[in-house]
Every structure is written in structure tokens, then in C-alpha cells.
Amino acid sequence: MSKHIKINEAVDMIKDGMTVMIGGFLAVGSANDIIAKLADKGVKDLTLICNDASYVDRGIGLLIARGCVKKCIASYIGSNPVAGEKMNSGELDMELVPQGTLAERVRCGGVGVGGFLTKTGIGTLVEEGKQKIVVDDVEYLLEKPLRADVALIGASLCDKHGNLIYKGTSQNFNPLMAMAADVVIAQVREEVDTMEAETIHTPYLFVDYIVK
């Protein structure tokens, strides 16, 4: 059965209040067309898990600027002044996470691990409310896994089965997020007939739908 769907069908799968992972790094490797349609739809109260807040006028930034997002879990928002304003006003619940910690929390969610220990954040605001565990006289934070209802990922190539390849830096968070959501929707630039197995970044088993 074909995994190909139209962009409006993809948008309709995302409902108010859902938790959505969005791959990409400052809109590179993001499903930007789907995100723009989602912002136009005016979905509300989303929790976003993403690397950054992108820019005001594209990518994740559109969702934040138009008030679609209730909470954002990310590592960086400096490129989007609206995100900073909404965070400071209390309109946006912002959880800032060190980038490596964010990636590993998503990976844990994808592989079924209950969390991981890290020294990153010890002695800073990051440790507030988190469990500390001492191993061999060294103190660590327990960071818990992240999962989502839907992941929106951007890929360069797909084949008829839904195997994905990301070119250049567009790979970023996409392979991790494709493993950590109940439903995975990939926006792809180009479809090819076949792929060499060793070139595949995200196997088709992780991909539910494709928007080209």
C-alpha cells in the first residue's frame, strides 16, 4: 500500500493539544511546507519538540508567531525574537535543553530506554526539579526520554517503500525523531526508484506517510 498522501491530509492528522516533534536545524531539514499549512490551519495548544525556534517567518517560527504552540522543548531560540517575547511574557512555556541532552532524550524515547545520566547541567538552572544519581562518587542528572504523537521530518530522497536519505546537514535530528513518535510524516524533495541499502538513513519501517 502506498504511503503517499497529500499535504492537506498530513495537516489534518495533527490535532489541537498534540505533542509534535519537528526535525530540522534553523529550518534546514524541516518539513517546511507542511508546517506552513499547519500554521494556516490555526491548530492550537501544540507541544513542540525541536532543536530551535527557527525564524519568525518560516519553519517552526510560523507556528510560534501565530499562537499555535503552548509549550516548546528546544535547545535554542535566539534566532526568533517572537519566541523570546512570548517566553518572557508567559504566553509560551519554554523548556530549554542542552542540545546534546535533547538529542539523547529523543533517542531514548525511540529505542525504549528509560533515561540516561549526564553531568551536563549540574549546578545550573537545568538541574531544577530533576533527580540526581551518584555513581562512583560522581553526581549525574537523570534525563528522561521524549516521545511525540507525530513527527514531521524533512528528507531529500525517498523510494517507493518509504526509505529516506538526507543530504548534507539536513540529517540533523530527523533520524532520531523518526524513531520516537507514534506517527511519522516525511516531506521529501525527490523520489527515486531504488536505493542501495547502505545509503539509507531512515528505513521505511519508521515512516508512516510521505508528502512529496
**pLDDT tens across 150-199, in order?**
999 999 999 999 999 999 999 999 999 999 999 999 999 999 999 999 99
Relative to beta strand 116-118, strand 138-143 is antiparallel
In a domain, 158, yes or no: yes
What proportion of the chain, given as a percentage, has pLDDT over 90?
Answer: 97
pLDDT for res 2: 85
Owning domain of residue 38: 7-113+145-211
**H-assigned helices in the chain:** 7-12, 32-41, 60-65, 81-89, 99-111, 174-177
DSSP conformational letter for 125: G
What does the pLDDT read at residue 1? Answer: 72
pLDDT at 208: 97
- When pLDDT is cut at 50, 70 and 90, the band that residue 111 belongs to is very high
% of the chain exceeding 70 in pLDDT: 100
Can you give the pLDDT at residue 46?
98
Supply the CATH number for residue 200's domain.
3.40.1080.10
Mean pLDDT, the chain, whole residue set: 96
Total tally of structural domains belonging to the chain? 1
Whether residue 27 lies inside any domain: the answer is yes
Given CA atoms 166, 172, 176, 179 in this order, what sign does their dihedral have? negative
**Residue 85 falls inside a structural domain:** yes
Q: Does 131 fall in a domain?
A: no
Note whether residue 11 is domain-resident: yes
Residue 47 lies in a domain: yes
Residue 135 banded pLDDT, cuts 50, 70, 90:
very high
**Sign, Cα dihedral of 178, 161, 209, 66:** positive
User: Is residue 46, in this structure, part of any structural domain at all?
Assistant: yes
CA 11/CA 8 separation, integer angstroms: 5
Q: How far apart are CA 149 and CA 17, in angstroms?
A: 10
Does the residue 102 lie in any domain? yes
CA separation for the pair 207, 151 (Å, rounded): 10
